[in-house]
Amino acid sequence: MTSRIERITPAEAQRRQRAGAILIDVREAHERAAGRAEHALGVARTELETDPAATVADRDAQVLLICQSGARSLLAAQALLDAGYARVASVDGGTVRWIAEGLPLAPREADADFYERYSRHLRLPDVGEAGQRRLQAARVVVIGAGGLGSPAAYYLAAAGVGTLVLADDDVVDRSNLQRQILHTEDRIGVAKVDSARTALQALNPSVRVLPFQQRVTSANVEALIAEADVVVDGADNFPVRYLLNDACVKLGKPLVYGAVHRFEGQASVFDAGRQRGQAPCYRCLFPEPPPPEAAPNCAEAGVLGVLPGVIGLLQATEAIKLILGLGEPLRGRLLHFDALGLRFRETRLRPDPGCAVCAPGLPFPGYIDYAEFCGVA
């Protein structure tokens, strides 16, 4: 029963602490980073309750526990009493009251931005600090800083992906602003990758953004994606899509595919390079490109402005899942989105045993003239 636990004010806790009592903040690390009582030890409640002797070896020591508002410290105090600690007290009102009463705080931690910025990720058991550190160490290549690349890169930066490589040879045009959310009116005429870097670093200065203002070709694609953990396809043309697919199969990189057309979009994950014979590649879905007149681009056919946002967010979601090893990626599944009907449907994809690029045991056939292959002048 927590009713027998001594409850003290923050001021009394500070007085006792100065007289030799041990003050322990039992919140999680990301909570303590936002501010904790001066000289308080930081030990998460679960860790303290699992092995209290690792923090306080002397069961006769005076132990003061503090949390955010006073609830968790009471539970931790009860656990210590049950473990044989005789002199335990809980700080009423917790750190919230400590700060409100103007009592001194510990110096701001070097990683305070990390813990504050990603606090909602850190609360997820499936992500936690270890997962967030994986995101921080990850490198994602986004091909295209337009309709799909904009939302994908924006949310990847917000999520804390440490390095974003952006490749696009275009400049910002006013017609882009209806859907390409990284760009603004005052950056019309600026290279899209530079405009994107400005937006992404304003959102999250800790993310390293590497801009490449160049068209992706067979001559530079491997250098762009060689160190990538995930490649996001935000291209708007078939030659680049086929090139990216082939390079990702060759180098064993997961490719997060997205495409939009008028009011409809698609997304998938092609991971044949790492899972030959088990996961399909883009060529398994489209062995041959459609004729240009059957697949006009956005400039020719138009596109609902919010549609790339939906598909780009799906791509960012898949990229994050791949980095963290969470959930079920869209491998072997093509997700269709109909904006007018607001419906999703799914098509199962199987690896093509006769695929020209990813068939098991097949040596990489080499890059081709993708413009000629796709019938692009």
Token pair 């539970």 is at which residue? 75
Please answer whether residues 90 and 65 qualify as being in contact, where contact means their C-beta atoms are separated by less than 8 angstroms.
yes
The one-letter code for the residue type at 279 is A
DSSP assigned state of 291: P
The one-letter code for the residue type at 268 is S
Please answer whether residues 155 and 313 qualify as being in contact, where contact means their C-beta atoms are separated by less than 8 angstroms.
yes
- Between CA 191 and CA 212 the distance in angstroms is 10
Please answer whether residues 179 and 308 qualify as being in contact, where contact means their C-beta atoms are separated by less than 8 angstroms.
yes
- Token pair for residue 321? 């899942």
| E strand or H helix at 247 | helix 238-251
- Between CA 360 and CA 216 the distance in angstroms is 27
Active site residue 298: yes
Query: Which candidate, 272, 21, 304, 353, places its Cα nearest to that of 257?
Result: 272
* Phi-psi group of 238: left, alpha or beta (phi > 0 → left; psi -120 to 50 → alpha; rest → beta): alpha
- Between CA 161 and CA 158 the distance in angstroms is 8
CB count in 10 Å sphere of residue 5: 18
b/e map 239-264, b = 16+ CB within 10 Å: bbbbbbbbbbbbbebbbbbbbbbeeb
- Between CA 168 and CA 213 the distance in angstroms is 5
The one-letter code for the residue type at 375 is G
- Greatest alpha-carbon pair distance for the chain in Å reads 83
Among the listed residues 298, 355, 358, 374, the single catalytic one is: 298
The one-letter code for the residue type at 88 is V
Torsion from C-alpha of 105, 111, 115, 121, nearest 10 degrees: -170
CA 338 → CA 115, 265, 307, 334, 335, distances in Å?
A: 38, 7, 9, 13, 10
Catalytic residue numbers? 298
